[in-house]
Chain A
Amino acid sequence: MPKRLLRRAFVLGAGLAGALTSAANAGEYNLTVDPVIVDTGTFKRTGIGYNGATPGPVLRFTEGEDVTINVVNNLDETTSIHWHGLILPFDQDGVPGISYPGIPPGETFTYRFPIVQNGTYWFHSHSGFQEPDGAYGSIVIEPKKREPFQYDKEYVVQLTDAHPHRGNRIMRNLKMMPDYYNRQQRTLFDFLKDAREKGVDTALADRAAWGDMRMMPTDIEDLQGFTPLINGKSTEQNWTGLFKPGERVRLRFINSSAMAYFDVRIPGLKMTVVQADGNNVLPVPVDEFRIAVAETYDVLVQPKEDQAYAIFAESMGRTASVRATLATSEGMVADAPELRKPSLLTMADMGMAHEGMDHGSMSMGGMSHTMPDGRAMQGMNHGAMNQGQTNHGTGQMSDTHKMPDGSSMKGMSHAGTDHSGGGGMPTMKHDGTAMAQEGHTMPDGSIMKGTSHGGMNHGAQGMMAEADSFYAPGSGLTPSAANGGKFLSYDDLRAQKPLYEYREATREVELRLTGNMERYIWSINGIKFADADPIRLKYGERVRFKFVNETMMTHPMHLHGMWSILDTGKGKWNPIKHVVSVAPGTTVFMETEVDAPGQWAFHCHLSYHADSGMFRKVVVEGGPKDKSAATTTNMKTGG
């Protein structure tokens, strides 16, 4: 029997014994906030850490425990710790100016709160740019009940984007020159290449379209030049997790980056996603997933060979990557795959897919195709097919698609379709008529007859996936798995156990995500935090938040103190998260049961977006009196 179970039995037993002898299961923890040196192997700089290191320690709590955490500020500036994703009284949430004043230099602050959940979370400073400077650590909460999955080993895999510049300097540079850190801008050579491939007119028209907006299709990452780290180690420093062949390993992925999204894969291993943002989801086997800033995903892997496996994370903008290793002994190094080519944003990402833009001149990123009229071809995610062997660029597509499992999908009238322009697929029939008569070849070799494409709307599985509805149709950001396999979508996430009874929202709050790129001002509904009134919610409401992303950046929106129930159209199975990533040109809904009195922060978790205004204070009015701290209701914001 795995040791895991024995240990759990022991913990449970101890907990029971504890319950009999004392009132509550309580633990005391100590953290110091310290100046540290960040050393990535490529650069060294000063930074901030916990207990003398960055990342800080893994805090291990147990569900039901009452924790006491003493935080000593050894910095010469005010600090704070926010317990990211934890449900707790608002005055313990650690946001200066909203929950409390912060922790002055030299002082100790003692946090006390009950642990009412389990799963993988993290903690970080909510003061200035201490978090990008290194002030983060991870939290693992053991559940009271046995989990619906088994594993022999577990590792925290904390991703960060260490930058050679400290946060204050980065913010200043971005304010001075918003593309200061964009070193992937299109150059003369890119123009010449485009002109050669697409014609001078097309290339010029494309430059003109973007220049007209004064925006850049390469602007996927505001902040480049960082060194991604896994558990504080760069590729060269090679963080290594050990396993015995056949063991099931739980990897607790946490993206504690300031700005970088990562696409994560372990070549040679299927990953089964079992938890998102600390909440169990119905397990989803995937080949790759994208982790937004501040999200967590727990995956199970079962490496069976006596070899080294690479945990490989590429930044979404493909400017940097990091490799860690799963190995059977120390010193083994897995080969790091090559960084894939960056994709370009498209007019779809500018929210213009419906405005009759000339898609022919846009790079479609090689994934979901947009029809000439701007409509998306639902249900056709070419990324799920063997993209690597099918050259979309040449327009020479046979009428048989090779599926990932080697079977073929016949009868798609692709022949003679020019994919090179990226957009125009005039003869593509996606109304099902072409496929209906032909039949699909199933993985087992049987023929699937009489399938109407319309009826295949749900029928993606293993054969072809729907275009990810959490990206704008035709978006250049839509991800696809490096091996042509399954890439996790928000659509795949189903709550394993809904926390709340499903009900209609009592009202809707629209939050347009807005910004002025050129001034590097980010805002909500066009108003930055400094000028904004708080969002007022009533205790007991179920509020439906409508995020409309009017910018060209992807924003991981994070509401403190209450769960964010992401609407994926699954009703009671909608996944429960604490970060909801909103891709450019999309509208995303989330619902929140307003069950936590007090005042909370609600913001984009990209550090420099939050700081420059994409931030709100949320005030929850009403609710149990003993919980809402009357003394602080007049408190002004300043976070």
Chain B
Amino acid sequence: MKIRIASLAVFAAILSDSPASAEQWFWGVQAEQLEWRSGEGSPAYAWDLDAFAGTDEYKFVVRSEAEYGTNANAFETLENQLRLQVPVSTFFDAVAGVRYDSPDGGPRRTYGVLGLKGLAKQWFEVDADLYLSEYPSARFEIEYEGLITNQIIFTPSIELDLPLADDEATGRAAFGPKLEIGGRLSYDLLDRAIAPYVGVHWERTLGESGRLVRDEGEDDDVVSFVVGFRVMF
């Protein structure tokens, strides 16, 4: 009897609510870079990671990129973004969100984010963002996974950060881009969850921005060796 009543209750629940079939939620964390950099500049920890939760239609992403210098014990860069991704084509999502920069000893900046993220032909992973504020900038990232074997993967990446207005406090001048080129050789140790890697990371600040960087007494052309983990779970 008890069983029957309980079944009826559930039955009633099904009749009364629930859309056709609820969208399922998924989540995940991916750190493309989680590494120690050592070379011509000051040694630093760096990361570039996304954590997401959402459905096929909407994905909320927390993105964090940072460099923590171990000489100064301070964040040289610290960017956090909250992004909403919505599919706009088979392979691309539109992105809207906010970005908040809070490096130690630097100005706090808040931007609106508009962008595209997806998979271009020939397997290039592309991120193109426009950061809107009184100091607007654009950023373009491409990454490619080259399979040496199915476990040993060479990942070249290029990131171009292009200030669209002068922001001297952050050492950036309009149309003086910062270029980051990396090559990382990883090994999938545990599924795809943990993949240790070694690699090279090259940062070059160009144009007027380069002059600003040099004026600060820093190098506008820095090569680092990196060692770290790719993480996905």
Cα of A251 to Cα of B24 in the assembled complex, Å: 40
Contacts of A171 in B (CB 8 A): 24, 26
Contacts of A172 in B (CB 8 A): 26-28
Tell me the A591-639 residues at the B interface (CB within 8 Å).
611-612, 634-639
Q: A97-B14, A521-B56 are in contact. Are A636 and B146 (CB under 8 A)?
A: no
Tell me the B2-23 residues at the A interface (CB within 8 Å).
3, 6-7, 10-11, 13-15, 18-23
Q: Mark contacts of A246-264 with chain B using CB atoms, 8 A cut-off: 1 yes-contact digit, 0 otherwise.
A: 0000000000000000000
On whether the beta carbons of B3 and A101 are closer than 8 Å, the reply is: no
Residue A518 is within 8 A (CB to CB) of chain B in the complex: yes
Q: A634-B15, A638-B14 are in contact. Are A519 and B20 (CB under 8 A)?
A: no
Q: Mark contacts of B24-38 with chain A using CB atoms, 8 A cut-off: 1 yes-contact digit, 0 otherwise.
A: 101110100000000
Cα of A291 to Cα of B123 in the assembled complex, Å: 33
Most buried by B among A101, A516, A529: A101
Tell me the B147-204 residues at the A interface (CB within 8 Å).
147-151, 191-192
Cα of A112 to Cα of B150 in the assembled complex, Å: 51
On whether the beta carbons of B14 and A175 are closer than 8 Å, the reply is: no
On whether the beta carbons of B90 and A101 are closer than 8 Å, the reply is: no
Cα of A636 to Cα of B15 in the assembled complex, Å: 6
Q: A102-B10, A518-B90, A638-B21 are in contact. Are A108 and B192 (CB under 8 A)?
A: no
On whether the beta carbons of B21 and A211 are closer than 8 Å, the reply is: no
On whether the beta carbons of B6 and A188 are closer than 8 Å, the reply is: no
Give chain B nearest CB distance to A526 CB in angstroms.
11
Contacts of A611 in B (CB 8 A): 24
Interface SS of B by simple majority: mixed
On whether the beta carbons of B192 and A104 are closer than 8 Å, the reply is: no
On whether the beta carbons of B147 and A104 are closer than 8 Å, the reply is: no
On whether the beta carbons of A186 and B147 are closer than 8 Å, the reply is: yes
The interface size of chain A toward B, counting residues with CB under 8 Å, comes to 43
Cα of A612 to Cα of B57 in the assembled complex, Å: 12
On whether the beta carbons of A639 and B21 are closer than 8 Å, the reply is: yes
Tell me the A348-407 residues at the B interface (CB within 8 Å).
none
Contacts of B3 in A (CB 8 A): 107-109
The number of residue pairs between A and B whose CB atoms lie closer than 8 Å in the complex comes to: 101
Residue B222 is within 8 A (CB to CB) of chain A in the complex: no
On whether the beta carbons of A211 and B56 are closer than 8 Å, the reply is: no
Residue A525 is within 8 A (CB to CB) of chain B in the complex: no
On whether the beta carbons of A101 and B122 are closer than 8 Å, the reply is: no
Q: Mark contacts of A487-518 with chain B using CB atoms, 8 A cut-off: 1 yes-contact digit, 0 otherwise.
A: 00000000000000000000000000000101
Tell me the A125-164 residues at the B interface (CB within 8 Å).
none
Most buried by A among B6, B10, B19, B52: B10
Residue A530 is within 8 A (CB to CB) of chain B in the complex: yes
Q: A109-B7, A187-B150, A528-B56 are in contact. Are A636 and B19 (CB under 8 A)?
A: yes
On whether the beta carbons of B232 and A177 are closer than 8 Å, the reply is: yes
Give chain A nearest CB distance to B94 CB in angstroms.
14
Tell me the A172-207 residues at the B interface (CB within 8 Å).
172-173, 175-177, 180, 183-189
Give chain A nearest CB distance to B58 CB in angstroms.
13
Contact of A530 among B7, B21, B147 (CB under 8 A): B21
Cα of A529 to Cα of B26 in the assembled complex, Å: 17
Cα of A637 to Cα of B121 in the assembled complex, Å: 38
On whether the beta carbons of A516 and B90 are closer than 8 Å, the reply is: yes
On whether the beta carbons of A638 and B22 are closer than 8 Å, the reply is: yes
Contacts of A519 in B (CB 8 A): 56, 87, 90
Give chain B nearest CB distance to A452 CB in angstroms.
47
On whether the beta carbons of A208 and B14 are closer than 8 Å, the reply is: no
Instruction: Report the contact-size class of chain B (Cβ under 8 Å from the partner).
Output: 35 or more
On whether the beta carbons of A104 and B6 are closer than 8 Å, the reply is: yes
Contacts of A516 in B (CB 8 A): 90
Residue A444 is within 8 A (CB to CB) of chain B in the complex: no
On whether the beta carbons of B122 and A187 are closer than 8 Å, the reply is: no
Q: A101-B10, A187-B149, A529-B21 are in contact. Are A212 and B28 (CB under 8 A)?
A: no
Contact of A101 among B13, B149, B192, B232 (CB under 8 A): B13
On whether the beta carbons of B14 and A101 are closer than 8 Å, the reply is: yes
Cα of A224 to Cα of B24 in the assembled complex, Å: 23
Q: A180-B192, A186-B147, A519-B56 are in contact. Are A211 and B20 (CB under 8 A)?
A: no
Contacts of A183 in B (CB 8 A): 150-151
On whether the beta carbons of A635 and B90 are closer than 8 Å, the reply is: no
Closest chain A residue to B146, Cβ basis: A188
Q: Mark contacts of B99-127 with chain A using CB atoms, 8 A cut-off: 1 yes-contact digit, 0 otherwise.
A: 00000000000000000000101110000
Q: A175-B26, A180-B192, A188-B148 are in contact. Are A214 and B14 (CB under 8 A)?
A: no
On whether the beta carbons of A104 and B119 are closer than 8 Å, the reply is: no
Contacts of B24 in A (CB 8 A): 171, 611
Cα of A502 to Cα of B30 in the assembled complex, Å: 56
Closest chain B residue to A186, Cβ basis: B147
On whether the beta carbons of A636 and B6 are closer than 8 Å, the reply is: no
Closest chain B residue to A517, Cβ basis: B90
Most buried by B among A177, A214, A532: A214
Give chain B nearest CB distance to A43 CB in angstroms.
12
On whether the beta carbons of B150 and A212 are closer than 8 Å, the reply is: no
On whether the beta carbons of B121 and A211 are closer than 8 Å, the reply is: yes
Closest chain A residue to B120, Cβ basis: A214
Contacts of A76 in B (CB 8 A): none
Contacts of B123 in A (CB 8 A): 211, 214
Closest chain B residue to A191, Cβ basis: B147
Closest chain A residue to B2, Cβ basis: A107
Contact of A214 among B7, B13, B119 (CB under 8 A): B119
Cα of A243 to Cα of B137 in the assembled complex, Å: 76
On whether the beta carbons of B232 and A635 are closer than 8 Å, the reply is: no
Contacts of B7 in A (CB 8 A): 101, 104, 107, 109
Residue A338 is within 8 A (CB to CB) of chain B in the complex: no
On whether the beta carbons of B147 and A188 are closer than 8 Å, the reply is: yes
Contacts of A186 in B (CB 8 A): 147
List 11 A–B pairs whose Cβ atoms lie within 8 Å, in order of A's numbering.
Answer: A104-B7, A109-B7, A187-B147, A187-B150, A188-B147, A188-B149, A189-B149, A519-B90, A528-B56, A636-B18, A636-B20
Q: Which residues of B contact A (CB under 8 A)?
A: 3, 6-7, 10-11, 13-15, 18-24, 26-28, 30, 52, 56, 87, 90-91, 119, 121-123, 146-151, 191-192, 232
Q: Beyond the given A516-B90, A638-B20, could you list 10 further A-B residue pairs with CB under 8 A, ordered by the A residue number?
A: A97-B21, A104-B7, A104-B10, A109-B7, A173-B28, A180-B191, A185-B147, A214-B91, A636-B14, A638-B14
